[in-house]
Structure 1
Amino acid sequence: MLIADAIVPVALVVALGYVLTRTGIFPREGIPALARFVVKVALPFLIFANIAAVDVTEVVNPGYLAVYAIVYALMMLLGVGYSRLASRSRHRGIFLGLGMSATNNGFMGYPIFLILLPDWAGVAIGMAMIIDNVIIIPVSLFLAERAAGGGTSAGEQIRRALRNLITHPLVIAVLGAILVSVSGWELPGVLASVTRMLGETASGVALFTIGGMLLGLDWRSTGRDTAVAVVGKLVVAPALALGLALLMPGMDATSMAAVVILCALPAFSILPSLALDYGEEEFCAGAVMAQTLVSFATLAAWIGVVGALGWL
């Protein structure tokens, strides 16, 4: 019931997006505009609000942060390596790696943590969001920009990727939020309300766009890659987190349980929106939807594993 409460709303919003797009109530050509709204407007405001409100000194658990970051690095390498062996594009490998590592910690993770680890839920999700927004998303966007370099020299590709990265609204939001958090400054009431209002639209609109992107998706051409994304995210990533948690010195049972459950969550709903500018949005939409549905079973299994280990 716990997992259903977190996953069913996700599936219903995606289904609504699919139905309204399929029936023509919402035009298919409007989906990219929604996706860009998520990445350029709603998500930056959400990131700013989340990070600016966090006291970094209160949410730092080195072992937890290290395990999550290492899992990301390993899954990114796995995605890129698979894409080369399977003769896929570099962008497919990058977003496959991102889809097998970054997690839906806010929309699904937080409700689950509130029930399983209520005293640690805020800290666990806060730390995950810091890694997502400071490391995972910027690094992945840099790799995607680097892959788009075409025939230009390596130096020019890196310069262009860095230039595009530091002017990206998501990165600007992260840097601004860190400055606000460190300085202790608080936004005036009106600006805080605007930030919160726009940020709260991110999850719902992102899920709606996934439904719209599923319309016309050629599953025959993406089926194998989608299967890899599902197995990688829901089986391999949490297994790596479990092994790393056991090896990481100084981790307590609660933080070990939290990082395994975190890595067992499906990919975040903004993944297709992030992939839009690189032509991988439809594959990412299918991967996120498949992961979300399969995670009914796999999340229950991983919760059972950490419970059997005495970590819950």
Structure 2
Amino acid sequence: MDYFIIIAPKLISFFLLIALGFTISKLGIFPKSCLPSLSAFLIKVVLPCLTISLLCQRGTTWGDLAGFHGIVLCQMAGYVLLAAVGLLCVRLAEIRPTTSNVHVGCMIGGNYGFVVIPILMALYTPENGQQYIPICSAIDTMMVWTLGLYFFTRGVEKDGEPWYRILAKRLFNPILVSIVLILTLNSLSVTLPGSVLEVCTNVGNISYSLGLIYVGCTICFLKKGSLHCLKTLWMLALTKLFAVPLLIYILTGPILPETERVVLMLIAGAPSMTTSCMIAGQYGLDEDYASTAVFVTTICCMVTIPLLFLTSALFR
């Protein structure tokens, strides 16, 4: 299978949209002062709409998640492993706090739609492989906006703020609320009005392009000397895109069928999610590191995805 051909069209649009964001910021059309508003709009409006649209269209329920409990539990364990490896790398590289949060967060959050969905659609039939797409998408969203958000925001709370208020802020974020709400409505066979779903779909559809334009804008405003972190970024790329995904494939060998092992390997090996930049911007973290991590891991996945398939064949 030529994985490059599968991903290449998306990679071209990836570059073009980032270039567009870079250009409009360079020309002053989109100044740096607008970035916080754009990131807030994406996180609090666009991404919840996308979540509602996708889950409603696929009809995913809590029962579906329970029915695939094997792959669901292993997928959740995979995020914990990614976080643990990220924390180890942070300790070994002695990365400063605001950057270390981003490093671990970028380890957990992967670009599910960029790599996982197109490859699964190309490799498998709807009955043998593609049925995992909505299930794993729901788990991915929940884990990123619970475990992932925790590591992104760890230590950035206001002094003296009660723990229960901090927990409420983390759990009651718009994206997690939307996914829990729609899974519950789907489980109760309650459907949203067509006009509401149409609005959510139209708003959600701009997430991919607007998110990458945002990344391009942040790259335009990179501070001089930001590339000093390339050493830790290569550590991020090596562990997230190759070492941990391969380890997950090996560890799940005795308990999961081959197709599910490949799905989990691809999920773990997806490049860092575009939303990392927006979360970093919202919480005053190292946004330069986040945008560079998204760019570097996306480029590297063109090499690591084929390499994962070649290497994993040795452990079948």
TM-score normalised by structure 1 residue count: 0.88
Alignment match of 1:11 (pick from 11, 15, 33): 15
Encode CA deviations 1:34-63: one digit per residue, 9 max, x unaligned: 222110110011112223431343454333
Deviation of 1:114 after TM superposition, in Å, equals 0.9
Which residue of the partner structure matches residue 35 of structure 1? 39
* Partners of 1:230 and 1:157 in 2: CA distance: 36
Aligned pair 1:236/2:278, yes or no?
no
Quickly say closer, same or farther: Cα 1:116–1:66, change in 2 above 3 A: same
Which residue of the partner structure matches residue 68 of structure 2? 61
Listed as ranges, the matches of 1:119-130 within 5 Å are 119=126, 120=128, 122-130=130-138
> Helix, strand or coil for the counterpart of 1:6?
helix
Aligned pair 1:158/2:163, yes or no?
yes
Deviation of 1:193 after TM superposition, in Å, equals 0.4
Listed as ranges, the matches of 1:202-213 within 5 Å are 202-213=207-218
Deviation of 1:148 after TM superposition, in Å, equals 1.5
> Helix, strand or coil for the counterpart of 2:298?
helix
Which residue of the partner structure matches residue 284 of structure 1? 290
Given that residues 60 and 183 in structure 2 are in contact (C-alpha distance below 8 angstroms), is that contact kept between their aligned partners in structure 1?
A: no
Quickly say closer, same or farther: Cα 1:23–1:307, change in 2 above 3 A: farther
Matched to 1:161, the amino acid is I
Which residue of the partner structure matches residue 109 of structure 1? 116
Identity score, percent: 21
Matched to 1:10, the amino acid is F
Quickly say closer, same or farther: Cα 1:169–1:134, change in 2 above 3 A: same
Quickly say closer, same or farther: Cα 1:123–1:98, change in 2 above 3 A: farther
* Partners of 1:296 and 1:146 in 2: CA distance: 31
RMSD: 2.3
Which residue of the partner structure matches residue 198 of structure 2? 193
Matched to 1:137, the amino acid is W
225-234 or 3-12, which moves further after superposition?
Answer: 3-12
Given that residues 213 and 282 in structure 1 are in contact (C-alpha distance below 8 angstroms), is that contact kept between their aligned partners in structure 2?
A: yes
How many positions carry a matched residue from both structures? 305
TM-score normalised by structure 2 residue count: 0.87
Which residue of the partner structure matches residue 83 of structure 1? 90
Given that residues 61 and 183 in structure 2 are in contact (C-alpha distance below 8 angstroms), is that contact kept between their aligned partners in structure 1?
A: no
Listed as ranges, the matches of 1:235-254 within 5 Å are 235-247=242-254, 249=255, 251-254=256-259
Which 5+ residue runs of structure 1 have no aligned equivalent?
none
* Partners of 1:161 and 1:88 in 2: CA distance: 24
Quickly say closer, same or farther: Cα 1:234–1:193, change in 2 above 3 A: same
Deviation of 1:65 after TM superposition, in Å, equals 2.0
Which residue of the partner structure matches residue 170 of structure 1? 175
> Helix, strand or coil for the counterpart of 2:10?
helix
Which 5+ residue runs of structure 2 have no aligned equivalent?
none
Encode CA deviations 1:97-137: one digit per residue, 9 max, x unaligned: 22123221123321221111232454332122222222232
* Partners of 1:264 and 1:81 in 2: CA distance: 18
